[in-house]
Amino acid sequence: MSSENLSSDKPLHLTQRPRRLRRTETLRKMVRETILTVDDLIYPMFVMEGESIKIEIASMPGCYRFSLDLLLEEITVVSQLGINAIALFPVIPEEQKNDTGTESYNPEGLVQETVKAIKKAVPEIIMITDVALDPFTTHGHDGLVDENGKILNDQTVEVLVKMALSQAEAGADFIAPSDMMDGRIGAIRQALDAEGYINVGILAYSAKYASAYYGPFRDALDSAPKFGDKKTYQMDAANAKEALKEIELDIAEGADIIMVKPALAYLDIICQVKTATNLPVAAYNVSGEYAMIKAAAQHGWIDEKKVILETLTSMKRAGADLILTYFAKEVALMLM
């Protein structure tokens, strides 16, 4: 068939031609609905005991466990790239763990000393500290456990309150309860206010699912549960209405920011949550999501940079105002 036969002197009469707005990169940028910026990103980082230590996490290529001295150097770089906030996670030595996680609220513990050092070195960075017992317990669960293996809710909340207060005293800007115990947001808010920490915010892991996407993170912290699973306190992956219930409760109890975790398989939840609240919504682009992209890129199966940006943009398009992502540093460099 000749090109002459494929053309016509008279084009179709179309009132709307959406392709007009896709014609050039400049036009596409002008009408783009969702813009990912470095201001949207929160960088999760891992700290460990020791000096001059930087250990790559095997299941999370490009992510490292840092000793405090090297972590401070990295945070200085991260801040210069325009990343405004980090979420801190500790690698606790086995000898400091016990069944009740008492090291979690040690005023001279790893988290507390790290927060103090970071706020002194880079005071403008927003420090978000994790509140959950799994890094600190021998059993690897987020709560206290009775002799029958049951996770105890109210007794756990009492420990979480101590943990949150110790982090606030160290200088944390946001407390981030990730444990999914009932009532912990209200208890922590009440305790913070009573001790004068009225400006310390709460970023609540409100809809945290019992997900298979957390494996690499648990490798990073050596915090996998030693028995059972976390399905009695983290949410069932099949449920959406329950997420809205959890969100509503956390807002009523005093959360300042609410979060959905994981993100990629839960974009529908992010969208529903965004519609249901006027609070900022965060999404956690978790370790398994990160690892899958890294693994595919290492095999040459995908264009890594394009997939990273497309993935994070999808989370923002779904309604996330903030994204916790291990890609934060890479994305900041891409967006410069």
Residue stretches of the annotated binding site: 246
Q: Is the pLDDT of residue 318 over 60?
A: yes
For the chain, the farthest-separated pair of C-alpha atoms sits apart, in whole angstroms, at 84
Does some domain include residue 94?
Answer: yes
Residue stretches of the annotated binding site for Mg(2+): 246
**To which residue do tokens 């606790």 refer?**
92
Is the Cβ–Cβ distance between 177 and 132 less than 8 Å?
Answer: yes
Is the Cβ–Cβ distance between 188 and 164 less than 8 Å?
Answer: yes
Q: What average pLDDT is seen over the chain?
A: 95
Predicted confidence (pLDDT) per residue in 86-101, tens digit:
999 999 999 999 999 9
Does some domain include residue 6?
Answer: no
Does some domain include residue 12?
Answer: no
Is the Cβ–Cβ distance between 136 and 96 less than 8 Å?
Answer: yes
Query: What is the pLDDT at residue 329?
Result: 97
Query: What is the pLDDT at residue 223?
Result: 80
Predicted confidence (pLDDT) per residue in 150-175, tens digit:
999 999 999 999 999 999 999 999 99
Does some domain include residue 293?
Answer: yes
Using 50, 70 and 90 to split pLDDT, how confident is the model at 5? low
Mean pLDDT for 301-325 is 98
Using 50, 70 and 90 to split pLDDT, how confident is the model at 323? very high
Q: How far apart are CA 311 and CA 314, in angstroms?
A: 5
Does some domain include residue 58?
Answer: yes
Task: Classify residue 229 as exposed, middle or buried by CB count within 10 Å of its CB (0-12, 13-18, 19+).
Answer: exposed
DSSP string, 229-294: -STTTSBPTT-SHHHHHHHHHHHHHT-SEEEEES-GGGHHHHHHHHHH-SS-EEEEE-HHHHHHHH
| Structural domain harbouring 158 | 34-335
Query: What is the pLDDT at residue 15?
Result: 87
Q: Is the pLDDT of residue 184 over 60?
A: yes
Is the Cβ–Cβ distance between 190 and 198 less than 8 Å?
Answer: no
Which long-range CB contacts under 8 A does 190-193 form with residues at least 24 apart?
190/254, 191/161, 191/164, 191/165, 192/164, 192/165, 192/168
CB atoms within 10 A of CB 302: 16
Say which CATH number the domain at 139 has: 3.20.20.70
Does some domain include residue 149?
Answer: yes
Predicted confidence (pLDDT) per residue in 275-300, tens digit:
999 999 999 999 999 999 999 999 99
Does some domain include residue 132?
Answer: yes
Query: What is the pLDDT at residue 307?
Result: 98
Number of compact structural domains in the chain: 1
Which residues are marked as active site?
A: 208, 261
* Among candidate residues 262, 271, 247, 161, the one with its CA nearest the CA of residue 213: 262
What is the reported pTM? 0.94
Does some domain include residue 16?
Answer: no
